[in-house]
Amino acid sequence: MSMRRDRELSTDENESLKHHLYVCINCKRFDTQLDFLSRLSKKYAQGVGMPSTATIRNIDADTDSDSDSDKA
């Protein structure tokens, strides 16, 4: 999962990861958390500062909708 953030995975690696995330709920949750933290850190780097609870919920909602479209 972390390699996917560092570089583009090969087709075989990507398929293997997708399969693993399909069967392993703990890794799927961890991957979702990594996506959320990535979005949050990008917002912070853009100078947004420490987000409010409402902003975090919006970022989390964006992650949910993006991950649905990514997985399809």
pLDDT value at residue 31: 93
* Distance between CA atoms of residues 11 and 9, nearest Å: 6
Domain boundaries, the chain: 3-71
pLDDT value at residue 16: 95
* Distance between CA atoms of residues 4 and 13, nearest Å: 9
pLDDT value at residue 50: 62
Q: Cβ(56)–Cβ(41) under 8 Å?
A: no
* Distance between CA atoms of residues 37 and 10, nearest Å: 24
Mean pLDDT by 10 residues, the chain (72 residues): 86 95 95 90 77 63 55 44
DSSP 51: P
